Chains A and B, each alone.
Chain A
């Protein structure tokens, strides 16, 4: 099957699936949400559907996967079909099973990392904007300095110092990402803290924590959500690039970023196996950002 034909079929298939999914949702949901569902664009429906499927696969990985994550089941690079639907990898492990377990590990790690980065980065950023003065100066100058160091090389340094367990991987990537989140939330919050309603709340004697939680955060959510969509997907790429430089996830754990790296050479010979994990990442990226775009659009108040 040639590539254009495949792409057109894929687009048509996605379109149909998204349509059916949206129709189902608007029937199944209670009235209020059903209206939202009915009015959402097909892209958003597609995004929600893909995310749902990924979550399902991630949660039920052990039930869905035909083989264990680490089990060596036969010769290496067996072709597609038969007992191994997508063949085997370089050690003779079932590719499909590893993709399924990869969903669980990859999505889990990416979510934990991004969530941590946003909690820390957004809190510090808004706090700095709210308090201003020396706290803002110290934090901002420090974050400036960290951002001036190339992130991949900084992550490489930190991981070499602290080792490469999953926990340190999450912490290090989150630390690097948090600097970016800090910057955005600070600049967004700076626009908000000068508003009259914040002043009013201050005069009421509300504390910083209340202001951040109840007044600033809700108003700063839209740009943060947009950033979340991209940052989330960049975590896979960071893991993949790190494994390119020789640091990565602890074997035999399966994750898509490392799977792309491990099988990448095959693309040189026109073998599309490495496209599977790469495609899995791409599909999720597109889906998440479709949903994010839809939410942004709703928040912007544009009616077209």
Chain B
């Protein structure tokens, strides 16, 4: 157990380093974008005089390293500052949207992970049968449709007929049942998008072990195919499966801006795209760090779980 704790500490330190690099990359990239906050806010109506006035007002005339340093010292003290575009505290802007984003990610994961595991195990069990082929082809077709297109098709089938709303209108006051009903279509869309990857990995990881001597042994002892897969193959195949699940969970949190747009779902992705468009660096940074933290933490969790399921990995730390 001690080794696991040491690994967690090590990985957390590396995670902090990752966050630091991310903040520099994002700051640099946003700086390189043509235009700045002032010209983005004024848009077509910008004149040299109003631009100069707005730049002075927003403190954009300082050199980039100075502004980055100011941001970093603030962020290290837990103060992410105010959005320059709206003058609202960034923590306020993000709080509710972060909740929405996590809710949708959990919802989709709750649908997708069990589905992917069951389909993957069945496909491995009945490998090379019609079921395997159809499940495989179906899953591949589902991921080869762009997300927004999957969403439109679901809206055509399930919203125009009145079963589910075509857009999500939730507030902190909505009841859980309401939220689940309202967000069903975006969750279903995301489920279709992420299931294939996890299912294929489950199947592949199990099949990969089916030729091992110990499985052969179990088979010779007359264990049923289902028992072989569940009791003998699956536990040893968990590490890669957990890793893929973690990657997909990270995607559900960080990569769903298109689904947010289609279902008018107020999540972090849309806020980030908006803030990039307005060059509102402080907001972009805050969200990028949230996304990066989610990614780092999920990967860490996956590694810890893999290590626990397969102590041989411990050596590799």
Contacts and interface: CB of A to CB of B under 8 A. Distances in A.
Interface stretch (B43-51, B86-94, B150-158, B172-180): B150-158
Nearest to B20: A145
B258 A267 contact: no
Interface in B1-32: 14, 17-19, 21-22, 25-26, 29-30, 32
B152 A268 contact: yes
B100 to A, nearest CB: 16
B155 A41 contact: no
A151 B250 CA distance: 11
Interface stretch (A19-27, A101-109, A238-246): A238-246
Contact of B25 (A149, A152, A260, A278): A149
Contact of B255 (A151, A245, A261, A264): A151
B276 A153 contact: yes
Contacts, number: 139
Interface in A44-67: none
Contact of B291 (A150, A161, A260, A301): A150
Interface residues of A, number: 53
Given A41-B128, A304-B127, A264 B257 contact: no
Dominant SS at the B interface? helix
A142 B136 CA distance: 35
B214 interface: no
A226 B288 CA distance: 30
Interface string B96-136: 00000000000000000000000000000001100001001
A85 interface: no
A245 B140 contact: no
A267 B156 contact: yes
Contacts of B141: 282, 285-286
Contact of A43 (B18, B133, B258, B296): B133
Interface string B196-220: 0100000010011011000000000
A278 B146 contact: yes
Given A150-B269, A304-B127, A141 B33 contact: no
Contact of B145 (A141, A156, A160, A281): A281
B145 A152 contact: no
Nearest to B17: A141
A76 to B, nearest CB: 20
A150 B149 CA distance: 20
Interface string A216-248: 000000000010001001001100110011000
Contacts of A300: 207-208, 211
Most buried by A among B29, B147, B210: B29
A156 B273 contact: yes
Contacts of B288: 149
Nearest to B133: A43
A148 interface: yes
B42 interface: no
A87 interface: no
A144 B21 CA distance: 9
24 contacts: A41-B128, A141-B17, A144-B21, A145-B292, A149-B26, A151-B255, A152-B257, A154-B29, A156-B273, A157-B26, A157-B30, A161-B34, A236-B144, A237-B144, A241-B146, A244-B258, A245-B273, A261-B146, A268-B160, A284-B144, A285-B144, A300-B207, A300-B208, A302-B211
Given A148-B296, A149-B25, A304-B127, 12 more contacts: A141-B18, A149-B26, A151-B255, A152-B255, A153-B273, A156-B273, A156-B276, A236-B144, A241-B147, A289-B140, A300-B207, A302-B210
Interface of A: 41, 43, 141-142, 144-154, 156-158, 160-161, 190, 226, 230, 233, 236-237, 240-241, 244-245, 257, 260-261, 264-265, 267-268, 270, 274, 278, 281-282, 284-286, 289-290, 293, 296, 300-302, 304
The 9 closest A-B pairs by CB, nearest first: A285-B144, A145-B21, A148-B292, A240-B146, A150-B254, A282-B144, A148-B295, A282-B141, A157-B29
